[in-house]
């Protein structure tokens, strides 16, 4: 939207809106992506959502449509080259242009450096790093034409720290941070803002996979100054802000959301 402040409109909080924006959110069949889609719909956006799990996508679509917004589900496997390009093309067919791209889909395998198989390395890099590039290559040219857009990449605190057993994951998310900076540097002149969000543990399916056992999760929680993990809605709130006109001058940042973990 990127609307400038209207002095006739005294309510500054109106700038945190996505009214009539067209958003593409990957990995919205569950977890953070489903939460982001629901919050975006509340804020007035129509959605194209992607994933492989048709039932999960349908559940998210029902939530979005209940809020009065349009929603198209696209099944696409982001491990492939074809998948992200297909998802981006479908979004362009549905909307004609995408205003907001949220690269949220991600995978993690709990492997140390020496144990990382080539299969896990490739899947992690392809889903977490190559797919955001291919999706952006598909939808950003239209953003450039219309001279406005937002790209929000869901990174991780593991992009700046190296938690044990996250070798491929940390490498992929660190790459995503720098890809975000490259996007921001190249596209800011076209009024497109690219930023990344870097949360610590959120107890989605992925969070539970890695940190769900009390023996592992409790010591991690104890290291976080806030003494708790994050909530999906807290990530979605930040993504909403970054997608809104209130964030039009925020560009190329990796915003940590970690209850203070990286501050100590
Ligand atoms: P999640 O619950 O496991 O959901 C992951 C999503 O990614 C699912 O919708 C899944 O859809 C999609 N996905 C995975 N592989 C895919 C593939 N090959 N093709 C298409 N879609 C694929 O994880 P989450 O916690 O919501 O994670 C969302 C993002 O936040 C990820 O990028 C993750 O790295 C990041 N993050 C999570 C945490 C955390 O603690 N949870 C912390 C920091 C960052 P399908 O299964 O339907 O394909």
pLDDT value at residue 52: 98
d(CA 140, CA 146): 10
Residue 221 lies in a domain: no
d(CA 252, CA 34): 24
Mind telling me the catalytic residues? 169
Instruction: Report how far Cα 217 is from the mean position of its chain's Cα atoms.
Output: 24
Q: Please tell me the distance between residue 84's alpha carbon and the centre of ligand 1 in angstroms.
A: 15
Atom of ligand 1 nearest to the CA of 210: 40
| CATH code for the domain of 102 | 3.40.50.720
Residue 86 lies in a domain: yes
Residue 224 lies in a domain: no
Q: Which of 47, 8, 6 is nearest to 28 (CA)?
A: 47
- Give the domain extent around 40: 12-204+231-256
Residue 262 lies in a domain: no
Mean pLDDT for the stretch of residues 204-219: 93
**Number of domains composing the chain:** 1
Tell me the best of 106, 156, 198 to mutate to test the pocket of ligand 1, counting ligand atoms within 8 Å of each CB and taking the most: 106
- Count CB-CB contacts under 10 A for residue 198: 23
Residue 1 lies in a domain: no
Helix (H, G, I), strand (E, B) or coil at 228: coil
Q: Would the CB of 130 count as within 6 Å of ligand 1? A: no
pTM: 0.96
Residue identifier of the C-alpha nearest atom 8 of ligand 1: 27
Q: Please tell me the distance between residue 233's alpha carbon and the centre of ligand 1 in angstroms.
A: 15
Q: Please tell me the distance between residue 27's alpha carbon and the centre of ligand 1 in angstroms.
A: 6
Lowest mean per-residue pLDDT among 5-14, 21-30, 138-147, 160-169: 5-14
Mean pLDDT for the stretch of residues 166-178: 98
Q: Would the CB of 122 count as within 6 Å of ligand 1? A: no
Q: Would the CB of 53 count as within 6 Å of ligand 1? A: yes
Residue 6 lies in a domain: no
Mean pLDDT for the stretch of residues 148-155: 98
Q: Which of 247, 241, 169, 244 is nearest to 201 (CA)?
A: 169
Q: Please tell me the distance between residue 156's alpha carbon and the centre of ligand 1 in angstroms.
A: 11
Q: Would the CB of 105 count as within 6 Å of ligand 1? A: yes
Alpha helices for the chain (secondary structure H): 31-42, 54-66, 82-95, 118-125, 131-146, 167-187, 205-211, 214-223, 232-243
pLDDT value at residue 177: 98
Residue 1 pLDDT level (bands cut at 50, 70, 90): very low
Q: Would the CB of 21 count as within 6 Å of ligand 1? A: no
């Amino acid at each position: 939207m990127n609307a400038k402040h209207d002095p006739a409109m005294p309510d500054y909080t109106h700038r945190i809106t996505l009214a009539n924006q067209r958003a593409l959110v990957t990995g919205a069949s569950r977890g953070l992506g489903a939460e982001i889609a629901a919050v975006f719909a509340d804020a007035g956006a129509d959605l194209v959502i992607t994933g492989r799990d048709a039932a999960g996508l349908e559940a998210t679509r029902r939530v979005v449509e209940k809020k009065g917004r349009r929603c198209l589900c696209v099944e696409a496997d982001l491990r492939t080259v074809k998948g992200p390009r297909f998802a981006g093309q479908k979004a362009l067919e549905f909307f004609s242009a995408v205003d907001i791209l949220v690269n949220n889909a991600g995978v993690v395998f709990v492997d140390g450096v020496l144990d990382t198989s080539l299969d896990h390395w490739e899947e992690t890099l392809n889903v977490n790093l190559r797919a955001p590039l291919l999706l952006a290559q598909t939808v950003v040219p239209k953003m450039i034409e219309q001279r406005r857009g937002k790209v929000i990449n869901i990174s991780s605190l593991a992009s700046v720290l190296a938690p044990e057993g996250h070798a491929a994951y940390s490498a992929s998310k660190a790459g995503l941070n720098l890809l975000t900076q490259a996007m921001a540097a190249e596209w800011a002149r076209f009024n497109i803002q690219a930023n990344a969000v870097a949360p610590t543990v959120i107890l989605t399916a992925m969070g539970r996979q890695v940190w769900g056992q009390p023996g592992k999760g409790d010591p991690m929680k104890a290291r976080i100054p806030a003494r708790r993990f994050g909530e999906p809605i807290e990530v979605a709130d930040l993504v909403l802000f970054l997608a809104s006109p209130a964030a039009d001058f925020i560009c190329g940042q990796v915003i940590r959301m970690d209850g203070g973990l990286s501050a100590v």
